[in-house]
């Protein structure tokens, strides 16, 4: 029997190349070797998106992104988190096993608190719902970007607590974090994130792509001055998109034989070649939303079967049935 892979992405806005390299690419590369559960974390998105039209639109965008980057619905159960009965019930059961002091250590909560942003209960409880997602399908591996590591550790802790309180029920899932792409940088050099407005979208048009690349922040070294590749935000993206040329570009940086403008031109060329087929596939899917919805229905049915088994086991163990 194949091991199980599970992961999800929140439909909070345009999907970017940080999501792709940090998470989605691993889903695609791993799909042949696992039984795969990949979902759209729409309940998680509601911690920030409280607009029906926007949530619906973003949800379809993620579904199409999964397909456009190469997930094969014959190999992967693709579904919406909110369509699976039992996930929020499991979250409640886990809530009763999770202390407030643990949740106060979660990064997302701490960041929001530190910035004086309002914290709703959904945001506070985010890691527990995520534990329900992961444990529901008895997942073995969870490929994610670095920022999700703490959540996976919390899911493991919750699994242990449940197993100790009742009896052995949940597997301890392993996070899969690829070091070289754990945190993809944005156009300003900070972590690429929608909240920093520094993203390069997976579906950005050629024109937008060019503008964004030209806006990447660099220092003011002249074309013939030596430059430090490891300190350059443009070079950081060459490592993802210009793999065959990286050595040569690195040498030209160090020898003062390339301008930032030329480096950006090369990056645009390579990035555009890479993103073009994804963009085209997405355009096809835009014309056939029925197909996308069918894929989600098929995925939901498979995921629901597993969720039903887990929930009846869990409810028996805790004394609800
Ligand atoms: P989110 O959009 O927050 O739901 O993130 C979806 C997935 O993309 C998660 O596995 C994140 O860890 C990953 N991710 C988001 N931003 C980045 C980034 N800048 N670099 C690497 N991975 C990222
Ligand atoms: N919190 C994840 C993110 O922001 C999305 C997510 C929700 C997730 N549930 C999950 C990822 C379960 C992996 C497993 O990226």
Query: Is the pLDDT reported for residue 238 higher than 90?
Result: yes
Are residues 38 and 84 in contact, defined by beta-carbon separation less than 8 angstroms? no
Fold classification of 4-183+289-318 is Rossmann fold (3.40.50)
- 147 Cβ inside 6 Å of ligand 1: yes
Q: Which atom of ligand 2 is nearest to the CA of 44?
A: 7
Paired with 35 in beta bridges are: 4
- Per-residue pLDDT for 7 more than 90? yes
Contact indicator for 307, 136 with CB cutoff of 8 Å:
yes
Ligand 1: residue whose CA is nearest its atom 15: 19
Q: Tell which one of 148, 171, 173 to mutate to probe ligand 2, the residue whose CB is within 8 A of the most ligand atoms.
A: 148
| From-to residues of CATH 3.40.50.620 in the chain | 4-183+289-318
> Model confidence at 195, in pLDDT bands (50, 70, 90)?
confident
Q: Tell me the C-alpha to C-alpha distance, in Å, between residue 67 and each of 105, 154, 203, 286.
A: 35, 30, 13, 11
Task: Work out the pLDDT band at 234, boundaries 50, 70, 90.
Answer: very high
Residue from 41, 49, 65 whose mutation best tests the ligand 2 pocket (most atoms within 8 A of CB): 41
What is 203-282's CATH number, 3.40.50.720, 1.10.260.40, 3.40.50.300, 1.10.240.10?
1.10.240.10
**pLDDT at residue number 220:** 95
Give ∠ CA 241-245-246 in degrees, rounded to 5: 75
- pLDDT digits 0-9 by tens, 160-170: 999 999 999 99
Residue 182 clears pLDDT 90, i.e. is over it: no
* CB-CB contact of 76 with 170 (8 Å): no
Question: Using CA atoms, how far apart are residues 195 and 203, in angstroms rounded to an integer?
Answer: 18
Confidence at residue 302, expressed as pLDDT on a 0 to 100 scale: 98
Task: State in Å: Cα 261 to ligand 2 middle.
Answer: 37
Burial classification of residue 179, based on how many CB atoms lie within 10 Å of its CB (0-12 exposed, 13-18 middle, 19 or more buried): exposed
Which helix (H) or strand (E) is 38 found in, with range?
A: strand 34-40
């Amino acid at each position: 029997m194949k091991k199980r892979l599970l992961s999800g992405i929140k439909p909070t806005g345009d999907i970017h190349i940080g999501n792709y390299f940090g998470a989605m690419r691993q889903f695609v590369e791993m799909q042949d070797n696992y039984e795969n559960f990949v979902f759209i974390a729409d309940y998680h998105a509601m911690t920030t998106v409280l607009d029906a039209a926007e949530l619906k639109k973003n949800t379809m965008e993620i579904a199409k992104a999964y397909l456009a980057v190469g997930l094969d619905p014959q190999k992967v159960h693709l579904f919406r988190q909110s369509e699976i009965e039992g996930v929020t019930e499991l979250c409640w059961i886990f809530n009763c096993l999770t202390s407030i002091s643990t949740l106060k250590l979660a990064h997302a909560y701490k960041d929001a608190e530190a910035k004086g942003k309002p914290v709703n209960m959904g945001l506070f409880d985010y890691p527990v719902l995520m534990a329900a997602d992961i444990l529901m399908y008895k997942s073995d591996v969870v490929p994610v970007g670095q920022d999700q590591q703490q959540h996976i550790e919390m899911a493991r802790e919750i699994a242990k607590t449940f197993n100790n309180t009742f009896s052995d029920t949940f597997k301890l899932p392993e996070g899969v974090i690829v070091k070289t792409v754990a945190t993809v940088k944005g156009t300003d050099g900070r972590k690429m994130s929608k909240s920093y407005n520094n993203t390069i979208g997976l579906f950005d048009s050629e024109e937008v792509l060019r503008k964004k690349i030209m806006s990447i922040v660099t220092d003011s070294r002249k074309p013939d001055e030596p430059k430090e590749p490891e300190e350059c935000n443009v070079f950081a993206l060459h490592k993802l998109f210009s793999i065959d040329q990286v050595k040569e570009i690195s040498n030209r940086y160090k020898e003062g034989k390339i301008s930032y403008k030329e480096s950006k031109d090369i990056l645009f060329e390579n990035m555009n070649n890479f993103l073009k087929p994804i963009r085209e596939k997405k355009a096809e899917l835009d014309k056939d939303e029925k197909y996308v919805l069918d894929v989600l229905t098929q995925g939901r049915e498979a995921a629901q079967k597993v969720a039903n088994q887990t929930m009846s086991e869990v409810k028996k163990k805790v004394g609800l049935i």
